[in-house]
Amino acid sequence: MNSPETSIGRATMLIVISALSFGSISVLTVLTTSTGIPLLPVMAWRYVLGALFLGVVVPTRQIATIGKRRNFQLMLIGGVGQALITYLSLHALEYIPVGPLAFLFYTYPAWVAMVAAIRRTERLTPIRVSALVLALAGVTIMVGTPTERLNPIGVMLALASALLYSGYLPALEHLQEGIPALIATFLLIAGAAISFVFAAVFSRELIVPTGAAVWSNILLLALVSTVIAFSTLIKGLAVLGPVRTAIIATVEPFFTAILGAVVLGSRLGISTLIGGILIASAVLIIEWSSTRVAVTA
């Protein structure tokens, strides 16, 4: 049996892997949509293939034992919650640039911590506050604070996405309790797949892409950015809770910046490196403090 220290260290690593996997979405999506394929069918195929991958390994009998209500709730949070978060973020890009969007969206760890403190589900300790400040400072330095006047519609959409995600994490933690991570991931992804397929059909954009390079990127989106990303998120979230998970997950924009520089040739400035160091410090503080509490409890 794993010790509390080992379990927390493993959960921290799972959330880091999840954040890195989610961090590949932007680059893979840009590579795919740059070929002329609309975003909706890319997302539809991403989730459909992800559900198919998991459907091969998830026993049907285990899904049936969970109960129709829990199945429906997990598919609903994937089909409505996850899909809506994606839509709000993408829609915000029509009004504000990527940098301000990232800055506004990554305020969600603060909202998660605030909601948890108000609900008294997790204590907002001085160490957690320090880690939260470091993480938010790292994101701010990395993407830059908005200096120009921003379109209020874009700001509201970005903040709405962040607020929705701050409620999404605790809801996901609650709904997946007692359910094997792969089954919870399958139901979540299946719900998102249904939503995006319907949206693509409704908008008359559901197409079958052609070309080996395009399908390679879509397969990576399905396997890495979806199956691995969500399954590791659910496993880590069950141990760490929403607040610690949200703070650790701020490594995502740092990895996205590095991957963009390597794959897309984007500029990687000193601010990105400084921001990454601050975020890494926040993750180490969270991991250290959590392990210390587990050992002394």
The 10s digit of each residue's pLDDT in 89-144 is 777 877 876 666 777 787 788 888 877 877 777 777 788 788 888 888 877 777 66
Percent of the chain with pLDDT over 90: 20
Those residues with Cβ within 8 angstroms of residue 130's Cβ, 6 or more apart along the chain or in another chain: 285
C-beta of residue 100 within 8 angstroms of C-beta of residue 158: yes
> What is the pLDDT, as a whole number, of residue 120?
76
Query: Is 113 in contact with 128 (CB distance < 8 Å)?
Result: yes
pTM of the predicted model as reported, rounded to 2 decimal places: 0.81
- Summary mean pLDDT of the chain: 82
Q: Greater confidence, 102 or 156?
A: 156
| pLDDT for residue 295 is more than 70 | no
CA 234 to each of CA 172, 238, 245: distance values in angstroms, whole numbers, following the listed order: 8, 6, 10
Sketch the domain layout of the chain as residue ranges.
4-296
Tokens of 85: 């978060």
